[in-house]
Structure 1
């Protein structure tokens, strides 16, 4: 299997874990059990760092698309991917900001949560659109 597909396949489980743990973290905050919240927070940070590392490799393998977009503008089919890239950067930056502040219920925390939800929805669409190509890579 080509390296690009290994990277793309590796993104899926860490994406699921990162998104799921982020939602569970939010739920735990509402339930008010700090120990449960703390455990989800640690798990979310770890899985999100793994997702970030895999995403860096993913972006590097698709760097030609970014260069082409910067040079030629955004094509009609590329608008969702461009928006997803910007949202992902926002989620990453707000996530790192939360490491230095008391994030639960803060404006930065809520921004991270809602941007994460929108990014998750767009990411699912991004994955589903490319799933036939990913499945073909297994043959």
Structure 2
């Protein structure tokens, strides 16, 4: 399997981990057990760090796409992918900022959650559009 597809499959797995743990963290924030919230927070931070690392590799593999936008504008490039990139950048900045503060029930934490939900919706569209390519990558013997 080509390296780009290995990165993409890893990205899908850690995306699921990050999304599920984010929802779990949000729900736990409405409960009364700090221990449960803490466990979800640790799971979400670890999963999201892995997700961020996978995204960095993914973007590096598609660097020419981003350079094309910078040089020539968006043109015929995927606007969904461009929006996803900007939204994910906002999600990452808010998530990293939360590491430095007590994010429990904070306004920044709520914004991070809302941006995360938007990111999940757009990312699902991004992945679903590429499902035939992902399926084909599993049959590749390289």
Q: TM-score, normalised by structure 2?
A: 0.95
Alignment partner, residue 31 of structure 1:
31
Alignment partner, residue 20 of structure 1:
20
> What secondary structure is seen at the aligned counterpart in 1 of 2:104?
coil
2:110 matches 1:131: no
Alignment partner, residue 48 of structure 2:
48
- Aligned counterparts of 1:113 and 1:18: Cα–Cα separation in 2: 12
Question: Which blocks of at least 5 consecutive residues in structure 2 are unaligned?
Answer: none
Count, aligned residues: 139
- Aligned counterparts of 1:33 and 1:103: Cα–Cα separation in 2: 15
**1:92-131, Cα deviation, whole Å (9 max, x unpaired):** 1100100111112212111100001000110011010011
Alignment partner, residue 108 of structure 1:
108
Q: How does 1:42-121 map to 2 (within 5 A)?
A: 42-121=42-121
Q: CA deviation at 1:47?
A: 0.3
Question: Which blocks of at least 5 consecutive residues in structure 1 are unaligned?
Answer: none
Moved runs in structure 1, 4+ residues, more than 4 A?
Answer: none
Q: TM-score, normalised by structure 1?
A: 0.97
Q: CA deviation at 1:32?
A: 2.1
More helix by share: 1
Alignment partner, residue 10 of structure 2:
10
